[in-house]
Amino acid sequence: MTAEVRLDIFADPVCPWCLIGKAELDRALESRPDHPFLITWQPFRLDPQMPAAGMDYVAYMKMKFKDEKGILAEMKPVMEASERLGLWINPSLIERVPNTLNAHRLLYWAGLEGVQTPVMSGLMRAYWREGKNISNPDVLVAIGESAGMNGQMIRRLLATTEDRDQIATREIHARERGITSAPTFVVADSHVVTGAQPASLWLQVIDELTGR
């Protein structure tokens, strides 16, 4: 039996390439159900300076990519990859780009209960397919409950500052380690893989780890 191998994934649920990278990894994991990975989702916000209330989606995209032509050019490969993977995202439903601090707090708590990946899946689905504001406590509670977490506890914690410093500290530590983009995958705390890699790469990694 192959020993467990830690796989840290530095990602943000509002990052489109994190969504795609996760889908590619999921394909590989489904093909290798005996994979050795012990997955931990680590916080890496795309924009740590995002206002607490978030920003209008169109205004934010124009700020980053200048105009509609720039936005379309940036999103074209994202849409093509999402369709190829059957994700069927719908950015037209997104009204605001949220500050994802609370989403990462929820992910941290989910990690304590062993349900991080279902919660990350729920966050990405809510944002990219349903256009929901994933900084909204009601949305976060519903996502947590869907993964088997206690909704009342989540709501109480969100109303406090609990673990905000934990998220900030982890992000700072990641950047100090040289992580500069999302998604970034760290295998066994030593091998770094950046970007949304194809399932074929992950299959190769898994096969090497398991001696296939």
Cβ atoms within 10 Å, residue 99: 21
Domain regions of the chain by residue span: 5-210
Q: What is the pLDDT of residue 173?
A: 94
Average pLDDT for runs of 10 along the chain of length 212: 89 98 98 96 94 95 90 93 94 96 98 98 98 98 98 98 96 94 96 97 96 80
Q: Is the pTM of this model over 0.75?
A: yes
CATH assignment of 5-210, given 3.40.30.10, 3.40.50.720, 1.25.40.10, 3.10.20.30? 3.40.30.10
SS3 5: strand
Report pLDDT digits (tens) over 131-154: 999 999 999 999 999 999 999 999
Q: What is the pLDDT of residue 1?
A: 55
- The sign of the dihedral angle between the CA atoms of 114, 117, 123, 126 is negative
Q: What is the pLDDT of residue 211?
A: 85
Q: What is the pLDDT of residue 127?
A: 98
* CB-CB contact of 105 with 163 (8 Å): yes
Report pLDDT digits (tens) over 152-170: 999 999 999 999 999 999 9
* CB-CB contact of 61 with 68 (8 Å): no
Residue 118, Cβ density class (10 Å: 0-12 exposed, 13-18 middle, ≥19 buried) = middle
CA angle 15, 17, 18 (to 5 degrees): 65
- For residues 118 and 94, what is the distance between their CA atoms, to the nearest angstrom? 21
